Amino acid sequence: MNAFKHGLAVLGLIAASAHAANQVSIHIDAGKPGPVINKHVYGQFAEHLGTGVYEGMWVGTKSNIPNTRGWRNDVVDALKALHVPLVRWPGGCFADSYHWRDGIGPQDKRPSNVHGSHVEEINAVGTHEFFDLIDMLGADAYINGNVGSGSVQEMSDWVEYMTADGGSPLARLRAQNGHEKPFKVAYFGIGNELWGCGGNMKPDYYANLYSNYEHFLRAPQKARPKMIASGGDTEWTQVLSKELKGRTIGISVHQYTVPTGNWDVKGKALGFEEGEWISTLANTLKMDQIVKDHVAVLDKNDPEKKIGLMVDEWGTWYDEAGAKSALYQQNSLRDALVAALNFNIFHEHAERVTLTTIAQMVNVLQAMILTDKEKMVLTPTYYAFQMYVPFQDAKSLPLAITDNTRYTLGATTIPGVSASAARAKDGKMYLALVNTDPSKAVDVAVEVTGTKVKGAAGKVLTSVAMDAHNTFENPQVIEPAAFGTRAADGKLSIKVPAKAVMVVALEE
Ligand code: AHR
């Protein structure tokens, strides 16, 4: 379906549900801007896993797929349009068995080795290639180091290799390998999931290890990456925030959304019943309480607010049935709602949640992009990220929902509407709305103090089916459509269709 026809279909959806609309009121205080929503909240995770890097992004210079120094042009262009602010690499669990020296020097001389469940790693993408991608995207780099099977010396050398200038043998080696100037490492993660794949450790043990590693990470003062400690549950946050004061700027948390809540039978990516629609959204909304629980610990141990909560793995995780590569899954309208609900939660906690990276960028878990050889398709999650671009580095605005509707199915009830507002860098005020109800539209009465609002214009993402998705054969089944409305008698009312994500600029 082309964008015009899709727009008409969306208007049809709004009209069809007009008589059945729910009603809520939203109040925004434009005069009291809150914390800035760090653009790194919109970060992405690219792990050497499945076809996430090889095939999905990297095809090599000899490929027939158009590429720039090995990175496929279609994917890079699509990611550029998304204003990706940050990329975490090379893992994940992969990071804790990655040895950076395997990925430098002439590509044809690099070793092949085996990772995870005996997956061959060809090491064609290493440090230099990753920073080439980062440069093309105009993003910041978040490198994750190897604690699990590496050493202090190895990690220290890597940081020196990337960041040192002139008078260092490792800087000279970097120059020999084609990059005279230091790379800019914005963040450096010391290990990953140390409670599990990163080494089955206890938090106290890791806290000691972290201090040792961090102490020896050599970088020129002005180029020193911000160091992130890898966390776990609130016990980990408790120990790390007490023990690592002054040594870390963030503690990470990983939180995936599994539709059934059962890791053995997670639920399907497509063709699910309404029961799995609501359970997925209910499970993803748990992010709010999880963040609150960690923030409560941080508020106790770090009242100066020097340590951020970095949700550096989040997103949906479905059953892999018939997946063409590891952790490959389709992505539907439901995923777009999951993304938007999480964005609204992260905005709410903007003071502490200063970085997140969705898992993952391409072909793995809740991806922005899916590829099949030379074909590429953009997912509903891609469009959710695109619609929320104005929130990057915007100032959050206090927002209250009065008499929110409830969406209920069986024993599960969730809020009908989720919303977030901010004053963006372009000076405009933006409002994001999610309607979780798959059948009923909602009329949102918007009241703003501190300014007069004349109308709203932006984009809405919805469709007829809960699992509407794009395929290589039909890549435009679901795309955002234009939306606009005017205030009447000084009052602004926005009709949000059932099962929709909407982002509008409020005209003042
Ligand atoms: O994102 C996939 C995997 O999930 C990551 O490698 C790991 O950190 C997490 O368990």
**Per-residue model confidence as pLDDT tens digits over 161-175:** 999 998 899 999 999
Q: Which residues contact 291 (CB under 8 A, 6 or more apart)?
A: 253, 309, 311, 345, 346, 349, 352, 353
C-alpha–C-alpha distance, residues 54 and 57, integer Å: 6
Q: Helix 333-348 to helix 274-301 angle, to the nearest 10 degrees?
A: 20
**Catalytic residue chosen out of the listed positions 121, 129, 160, 313:** 313
Which residue has the CA at smallest separation from atom 2 of ligand 1? 92
C-alpha–C-alpha distance, residues 7 and 9, integer Å: 5
- Tell the burial category of 188 from Cβ atoms under 10 Å away from its Cβ (0-12, 13-18, 19+): buried
φ, ψ for residue 407, nearest 5 deg: -110, 120
Going from the Cα of 360 to the center of ligand 1, the distance in angstroms, rounded, reads 9
Residue 121 a catalytic site member: no
CB of 313 shorter than 6 A to ligand 1: yes
C-alpha–C-alpha distance, residues 147 and 169, integer Å: 23
- Tell the burial category of 481 from Cβ atoms under 10 Å away from its Cβ (0-12, 13-18, 19+): buried
Of 89, 144, 193, 362, the residue with max ligand 1 atoms within 8 A of its CB, to mutate for a pocket test, comes to 193
Q: CA 9 → CA 1, 151, 270, 441, distances in Å?
A: 10, 57, 21, 14
Which residue has the CA at smallest separation from atom 6 of ligand 1? 92
C-alpha–C-alpha distance, residues 214 and 396, integer Å: 33
The pLDDT of residue 115? 77
The pLDDT of residue 18? 44
The pLDDT of residue 152? 98
Bridge partners (DSSP) listed for residue 414: 407
Which residue has the CA at smallest separation from atom 3 of ligand 1? 92
Helix (H, G, I), strand (E, B) or coil at 144: strand
Q: What is the DSSP letter of 487?
A: -
Tokens of 19: 């008589």
The pLDDT of residue 16? 46
CB of 92 shorter than 6 A to ligand 1: yes
**Catalytic residue chosen out of the listed positions 47, 55, 160, 193:** 193
CB of 193 shorter than 6 A to ligand 1: yes
Which residue has the CA at smallest separation from atom 8 of ligand 1? 92
Q: Are 420 and 41 in contact (CB under 8 A)?
A: no
Element (H, E) at 295: helix 274-301
Q: Are 343 and 387 in contact (CB under 8 A)?
A: no
Q: What is the DSSP string of 16-51?
A: HTGGG-EEEEEEEETTS---B--GGGGEEE--SSTT
pLDDT digit of tens for each residue in the chain (508 aa)?
444 444 444 444 544 444 468 999 999 999 999 999 999 999 999 999 999 999 999 999 999 999 999 999 999 999 999 999 999 999 999 999 999 999 999 999 999 988 766 678 999 999 999 999 999 999 999 999 999 999 999 999 999 999 999 889 999 999 999 999 999 999 999 999 999 999 999 999 999 999 999 999 989 999 999 999 999 999 999 999 999 999 999 999 999 999 999 999 999 999 999 999 999 999 999 999 999 999 999 999 999 999 999 999 999 999 987 788 999 999 999 999 999 999 999 999 999 999 999 999 999 999 999 999 999 999 999 999 999 999 999 999 999 999 999 999 999 999 999 999 999 999 999 999 999 999 999 999 999 999 999 999 999 999 999 999 999 999 999 999 999 999 999 899 999 999 999 999 999 9
- The residue type found at 435 is N
Tokens of 459: 């984009």
φ, ψ for residue 151, nearest 5 deg: -140, 165
Tokens of 109: 């001389």
Tokens of 6: 């899709």
Compute the residue count for the chain. Answer: 508
Which residue has the CA at smallest separation from atom 5 of ligand 1? 92
The pLDDT of residue 167? 85
CB of 481 shorter than 6 A to ligand 1: no
Strand extents, DSSP E, 410-454: 412-415, 417-423, 429-435, 442-449
Q: Are 320 and 329 in contact (CB under 8 A)?
A: yes
C-alpha–C-alpha distance, residues 380 and 384, integer Å: 6
CB of 359 shorter than 6 A to ligand 1: yes
Helix (H, G, I), strand (E, B) or coil at 494: strand
CB of 308 shorter than 6 A to ligand 1: no
Q: Are 405 and 442 in contact (CB under 8 A)?
A: yes
Residue 313 a catalytic site member: yes
The pLDDT of residue 322? 77
Taking alpha carbons only, the member of 390, 228, 207 closest to residue 312 is: 228
**Which residue carries 């999905």 as its tokens?**
56
CB of 96 shorter than 6 A to ligand 1: no
The pLDDT of residue 323? 80
Taking alpha carbons only, the member of 351, 356, 230, 345 closest to residue 298 is: 351
C-alpha–C-alpha distance, residues 432 and 358, integer Å: 19
C-alpha–C-alpha distance, residues 435 and 441, integer Å: 7
The pLDDT of residue 17? 47
